Amino acid sequence: MCLSDRERGVKPLNARKIIVGVTGSIAAYKSAELVRKLKQQGCEVTVVMTPAATEFITPLTLETLSGRPVATEFFPAARRPEVLHISLAQWADLLVVAPATANVIGKVAAGIADELLATVIMATEAPVLFAPAMNAAMYSNPILTANISRLRQYGYQFVEPEAGELACGGIGTGRLAPIETILEAIEGLLSCSPQGTEKLIQRGSSELSGKKVLVTAGRTEEDLDPVRFLTNRSSGKMGYALASEAEKRGAEVILVSGPSSLPSLPGVRLISVRSAEQMSREVKQWFPRCDVLLMAAAVSDFRPRNKTTSKIKKQEGLLLELEKTPDILLEIKSLKGDKGVGGFALETEDGLTNARRKLKSKGLDFIVLNAPTALGADANQVTVLGADGKTERLSQMSKLEVARGILDRVVGLLRTKCSDS
């Protein structure tokens, strides 16, 4: 645990030396804003561009904004006495690659250093933060997933892309994270590394190492018209606590989250969604590749049957017609096999009876019955009902402690499944 610079009253970015690596994604133009914001906060910024990045944005733009020469070539025509990639690698307090293509991530994961940026990344001892941006299909390619996970194991950090409209057309996960989010991640890394040159601590293997855990969190939003939607008060705290705890125990964690104001978790792959339909699509895509699903999201059970494209006018009364959303746990039930699946229930009456019914009908290994006061709160009082018929009532505790209890159960479950097979 380290005191943040904010807690010490220090501006975390002031006078820090930052390399902004820019690669060949259409989002390269957004790096100009990142450089500008870093400069405004008092950083010294050197931009390193891959040859492909220079096709999207000119070095002149980034040179003007950073106030320093932009490095693009491994062997610049005007030779300098120092070895460029080593001097850059040693100069930096932090290196951020924004946008990061599948190519640069793949190269570093494979130890390939065939151009300046990849070489600087390999040579630096400073924290390295990747902000991927690419087409949704590329982002969900399992090769990229494996590369990200490999890099994470070595202590490289990631700011997840967002879901939304993509430059290549269509909608999906692959948009560069907002610049503010990238700045927060940079601040976070630097404030835990006062000299900026501390090596990131590598994680040893632990109970869930080698396991993939899929967690859903938060609420969903079901659109009624362009400005209104149906939702609930879920904050995402329980799901984020589960994701964080699973990651601490060595799992590779994919967090599919509905709208939430919680900060993204270092080391956890975040997939942001809004509606039950989008959450269902992502869970169905990731579930087959995972060992465990913890379905903590408060998925809306209903959505408006029709969504209007223009705002519904004020009127005397309005009768809303609702339809059922896809029941995600039911949809993936037939794919379960020997995967571990845990669900959540929140009931205002007959909690145990209803939870037991859901446990059975959804084919779960266990279900966590929440107290109705849990929504949005930091603490929770839960009862865990197992498929083996056992019921365990935990006392009121923080959601992180509840998450630890649930992950203990998951570890036990995986051991049993392993010894049975």
Active-site residues, by number, are 168
> At 213, phi and psi to the nearest 5?
-120, 125
Taking CB under 6 A as the criterion, the residue among 343, 370, 399, 402 binding ligand C5P is 343
Our finding on whether 299 is near ligand C5P (CB under 6 A) is: yes
* Shortest distance, position 160 Cβ to ligand C5P, whole Å: 21
Out of 325, 407, 410, 413, the residue judged to bind ligand C5P by CB under 6 A: 325
Interface region with ligand C5P, contact rule CB under 6 A, candidates 18-26, 66-74, 79-87, 296-304:
296-304
Residue 355 lies near ligand C5P (rule: CB under 6 A): no
State which residue, 63 or 301, has the beta carbon closest to ligand C5P: 301
| Residue 301, phi-psi category: left (phi > 0), alpha (psi -120 to 50), beta (remainder) | alpha
Name the minimum Å distance from CB 296 to ligand C5P.
6
How far is residue 256's CA from residue 212's CA, in Å, rounded to a whole number?
Answer: 13
Rounded to whole angstroms, the Cα distance separating 347 from 328 reads 19
237 binds ligand C5P (CB under 6 A): no
Name the minimum Å distance from CB 297 to ligand C5P.
5
Q: How far is CA 346 from CA 20, 258, 310, 380, in A?
A: 46, 17, 34, 11
What would the 3-class secondary structure string for 259-287 be? CCCCCCCCCEEEEECCCHHHHHHHHHHHH
> Least distance in Å: CB of 341 to ligand C5P?
9
- Pick the stretch among 34-42, 81-89, 141-149, 327-335 that binds ligand C5P (CB under 6 A): 327-335
> Which residues, at least 6 apart from 57, have a Cβ–Cβ distance to it below 8 Å?
22, 28, 29, 31, 32, 49
277 contacts ligand C5P (rule: CB under 6 A): no
Q: Nearest to residue 135, comparing CAs of 214, 277, 26, 52? A: 26
CB 394 → ligand C5P: shortest distance, Å? 17
Residues 197/293, Cβ–Cβ less than 8 Å: no
What are the residues binding ligand C5P (CB under 6 A)? Answer: 276, 295, 297, 299, 301, 325-329, 343-345, 358
